[in-house]
Amino acid sequence: MPINHAIQTAFRGLKANKTRSALTILGIVIGVTAIIMVVSLGQGAKNLILGQIQGIGAKTIGIVPGRQPKGPTDILATLTASLKARDIVALSRKDNVPHAQDIMPVVFGSETASYGGETYRPTIFGGNELMADIYDSYPDRGRSITADDVRSSADVVVLGQTVVEKLSPDHDLLNERIKIKGRNFLVIGILPKKGGASFINFDEMALMPYTTAQNYIFGIKHFNRVVVRADDELNVDVTVNDIKSTLRELHGITDPEKDDFGIETQADALKTVGTILTTMTVFLAMVAAISLVVGGIGIMNIMLVSVTDRTREIGLRKALGATNRDILMQFLLEAIILTGIGGIVGILLGTGLSFAISLVITNVFGLIWSFTFPLGAAIVGILISTIVGLVFGLYPARKASLMSPIEALRHE
């Protein structure tokens, strides 16, 4: 029987049982829809996070205190205060790190803030006058932290929108004084609302000079992080090596394996986060693909029922000259057509839902979320659904083709 005639016969067989056909492809539709949504939303999340890391700048280098853990026994080694003022002085010297354009010590933690009877616990983020430029955290009202504020350990603070809303929902806090750890701070600036778009959520932060945070909030002499900005992207690797050499000499370290600090570059962060997000997306897509196997089993079961219900039809076709190969081809094509249609519907449904979710995330939550159509996942979804139809439709089709025409015609 010509292939085009076999396809027409298969379509007629499916049209004769529309409800059964629709229920048969439901499992495939759900499976492919899940794969498309997982991959599309996973790519959107990856683009969002990597975009925020890139926004900090490719020239930015982070120095973190403590030995970087290589196993469970090294965790306590990370809890050290290895970055101090003398390190900032050494790193600032051009003969030590000639390509270091900017250096900013960072301290952070959490403390309760209060105003007019309202309280909120923001993240306290202490930096210097470079903070606004490095993290793109310029106030839309008021001013940023200045070098004079840092030198004098001034009691000034720049607030994120969430902090303002929690402490004073109906009153502008600019030029007002709030209490943090019992100390009065003048609000000199209000940051624009960024939502969760920032890799660091500045909406929930209170920015102040790091000297103020060290002396009056946390009572520490060390830094939680040091940010170094190279003068050029091409000099990042050289700058990293200069930083390592300077700190090792200052800390008396001769074995690099015993470094009491770690170096993070944006390239490293992009690579690490990208790998993690890609792995998670692939893992979730594989979990979603399990539903395709379940759907394939459902197709096999329903096709077996279909073979039983259409026994007389099979006998009649054989009596009229249809060969075993013709019957096998018809039922196999029915299974492949069903899963193929299910795959296409799943792609369309998954794409539509992913696009709708992207719009909701962008408009409701204020995230810079880009919709991505996962072409690779769509192609894989079609291929897998077709293979599922071929594999799980083979047994029912073979069973139908081996029926005896005489026994089939006698079937009631």
pLDDT in tens, 311-352: 777 777 777 777 888 888 877 887 888 888 888 999 999 999
Residue that the structure tokens 């083709």 belong to:
401
pLDDT at 42: 86
Q: Quick one: which of 176, 138, 177 has its CA closest to 160?
A: 138
**Tens digits of residue pLDDT in 117-175:** 899 999 999 999 999 988 888 999 999 999 999 999 999 999 999 999 999 988 889 99
CB atoms within 10 A of CB 12: 11
- Asked if residues 397 and 303 have their Cβ atoms less than 8 Å apart, the reply is yes
Identify the three-state secondary structure at position 63: strand
- Asked if residues 126 and 210 have their Cβ atoms less than 8 Å apart, the reply is yes
For all residues of the chain together, what is the average pLDDT? 83
Distance between CA 369 and CA 366 in Å, rounded?
9
Q: Quick one: which of 360, 355, 356, 353 has its CA closest to 371?
A: 355
**Tens digits of residue pLDDT in 79-127:** 467 899 999 999 999 999 999 999 999 999 999 999 988 999 999 999 9
Dihedral sign for Cα 292, 296, 299, 305, please: negative
Identify the three-state secondary structure at position 182: coil
Identify the three-state secondary structure at position 128: coil
Q: Quick one: which of 227, 404, 259 has its CA closest to 319?
A: 404
Look at residue 69 and tell me whether its pLDDT is greater than 60.
no
Q: Where are the domains of the chain?
A: 3-53+272-410, 81-259
Q: Hey, what amino acid is at 326?
A: D
266-309 and 375-401 helices cross at what angle (nearest 10)? 20
Look at residue 73 and tell me whether its pLDDT is greater than 70.
no
Residue that the structure tokens 């303002």 belong to:
164
Distance between CA 109 and CA 121 in Å, rounded?
10
CB atoms within 10 A of CB 87: 23
Mean pLDDT of 278-297: 79
pTM: 0.61
Which run of H or E residues covers position 102? strand 100-110
pLDDT confidence bin for 55, thresholds 50/70/90: low
Contacts of residue 345, defined as CB under 8 A and 6 or more positions apart, other chains included, come to: 25, 29, 32
